[in-house]
Amino acid sequence: MSDLPPARNGLASGWGPGRIASLAVLLAAILAPVVLGSGYQLDLLSLVLINAMFLFALDLAYGQAGLAAVGHGAFLGIGTYVVGILAVKAGWPFWAAMPIAILVCAAAGLLMGLITLRLAGHYFVIASLALAIAVGLVVSAWQDLTGGALGLGLVPRPAGVGPVSFEAPSAFYWLLLAATLLVMLVCWSLRRSNVGTRLRSIRENPRLASALGVNIVLTRLLVLVISAALAGFAGAFQSTYLGFITPSVLASNVGFYALMALIIGGQRSFVGAVIGAAFFVLVPVLLQFSSALSPVFFGLALVVVILLAPDGVWGRLRALGRWVATRTRAARGGSSARLEPGQERSLP
């Protein structure tokens, strides 16, 4: 892991390829409803946004804190069900239910962290997966509350705020976009804060980090709780997006698929997470002719990326961008190879 460049991507520094790409993606995202209209394609984009939110959250745990949170799908699912249950069974409006979803997920994250964080590597993976499976089982079996395998519906769209209504697909899409940007902002500030610095030290050299006074378990616990809360936030939106909720949102492979998407897109980068989310949503659509083929494709893509591009698609694109930049500078008889402050570093 430590062979990856540190988490200074486009947003943090200069007009590197990261920042340009981020702005281009943002502009395209804002204009999408205008271009695409409000049909199936916008629906898919909305799904990409929800997944991107979840991947931002997951990246905190995986990319930043180095936790192989294969059970993280549970938090997305819990958030989805909390809003679903409150809306359907108690008639709560979305805006009241969503904070509850965040709180419940934060508490669940705390619980999971307390149980699993003291365990070493592989044990953490298995324990978090087992907890996620347990949550899925309980939700399926607790039929009075969750509707069991039959599902739960209908979860309404969020109520309008003032004159703005979120019923129209494009308005709902813009709401999702705003939520996604909010999650991004939270993750970004966290990465820039002392917590982010501590996380970096733990990733780079845990022994030295603790010798300098970093409390590894507490730092990871904090990040796990925040990450779970954000996943719950994404789940709340998934709830109203789906409208009808089934236990499949808590399937044990949700977390695995998310990790896959994140690794393929490129961890520790917002653009990478968005690429991963788009990949995850769009591949099955593109492979529509045989639904069984998309897992095979996903699996192959994952293994190939892990073997050949551990920093993901976006990591490779950035490396390519840097390569082109150095070539053009060299062609202009450019300056020394020394790095300027904040400049992207080339990969080994």
Partner 1 sequence: MELLAQQMANGIVLGSIYGLLAICLVLIFGVLDIPQFALGAMAMLGGYVVFLLGPIVGYWVSLLAAMVAIGALGAVVQRLVFAPLRKAADVTVFVAAFGLVLIFQGLALVIFGPDPRQVPPSISGSLVIGGVHIAYHRLVIVGVVLAVFLALQWVLRSTRAGRVIRAVGQSTTGAQVVGIPTGRVAFAVMILGSALAGLAGGLLAPISQAMPLAGDSLTINAFIVIILAGMGSIGGALVAAYIVGLVESLGATYLSQDFSQLYSILLMLIVLLVKPSGLFGKKVSRV
Partner 2 sequence: MTEALTLRDVDRRFGGLKAVDSVSMTVSEGEIFGIIGPNGAGKTTLFNLISGNVSTMSGAIELYGRRIERMPVHRRARLGLGRTFQTSQLFAGVTVHENLEIAEVSSRRGVGGWLGSPTARRTVEAERVDLEAWDLADKGERLAGELTLFEQQRLALAMTLAAGARVLLLDEPSGGLVESEVHQLMELIRGIRDRGVTVLVIDHKMRLMMQLCDRIMVMALGAVITTGDPTEIAADARVRELYFGRAPVRGVERNERTGGPDPADAHTWRAGPTS
Q: Contact between 200 and partner 2 (CB under 8 A)?
A: yes
| From the list partner 2, partner 1, none, partner contacted by residue 199 (C-beta under 5 to 8 A by kind) | none
Which one of residues 25, 125, 186, 347 is an interface residue with partner 1 (CB under 8 A)?
A: 125
Instruction: With CB under 8 A as the rule, give the number of residues binding partner 1.
Output: 47
Residue from 99, 111, 160, 205 touching partner 2 (CB under 8 A): that is 205
Cis peptide before 145 (omega within 30 of 0): no
Residues between 279 and 298 that touch partner 1 (CB under 8 A): 290, 292-298
Is 201 a binding residue for partner 2 by CB under 8 A? The answer is yes
Among the listed residues 119, 154, 159, 212, the single contact to partner 1 using CB under 8 A: 119
Which residues from 255-284 bind partner 1, rule CB under 8 A? 256, 259-260, 263
d(CA 76, CA 52): 12
Q: Based on the shown chain and the rule CB under 8 A, indicate whether residue 140 belongs to the binding site for partner 1.
A: yes
Q: Is residue 3 a contact point for partner 2 (CB under 8 A)?
A: yes
Q: Which is nearer to partner 1, 308 or 331 (CB)?
A: 308
Rounded Cα distance, 192 and 200, in Å: 10
Give whichever of 123 and 323 is closer to partner 1, judged by the CB atom. Answer: 123
Q: 62 is in the binding site of which of partner 2, partner 1, none (Cβ under 5 to 8 A by kind)? A: partner 1
Q: How many CA within 13 A on the CB side of residue 97?
A: 29
Q: Which of partner 1, partner 2, none has residue 133 at its interface (CB below 5 to 8 Å by kind)?
A: partner 1
Cα-Cα-Cα-Cα torsion 205, 216, 264, 52, nearest 10 degrees, comes to -140
C-alpha to C-alpha distance for 237 and 243, rounded to whole angstroms: 10
| Distances 55 to 25, 115, 139, 271 between C-alpha atoms, Å | 16, 23, 23, 11
From residue 291, give the alpha-carbon distance in Å to each of 96, 262, 288.
38, 21, 6
Q: Based on C-alpha coordinates, what's the Rg of the chain? A: 21
Q: Which of 49, 76, 82, 209 binds partner 2 (CB under 8 A)?
A: 209
Q: What contacts 136, CB < 8 A, 6 or more positions away? A: 74, 77, 247, 250, 251, 252
Answer for the pair 220, 65: CB distance below 8 angstroms, yes or no.
yes
Q: Which amino acid is at 38?
A: S
213 binds partner 2 (CB under 8 A): yes
Residues in the site for partner 1, rule: CB under 8 A?
Answer: 1, 62, 66, 68, 70, 115, 117-123, 125-127, 129-131, 133-134, 137-138, 140-141, 216-217, 252, 256, 259-260, 263, 290, 292-300, 302-303, 306-307, 310
Residues in the site for partner 2, rule: CB under 8 A?
Answer: 2-3, 5-6, 192-195, 197-198, 200-201, 204-205, 207-216, 222, 338-341, 345
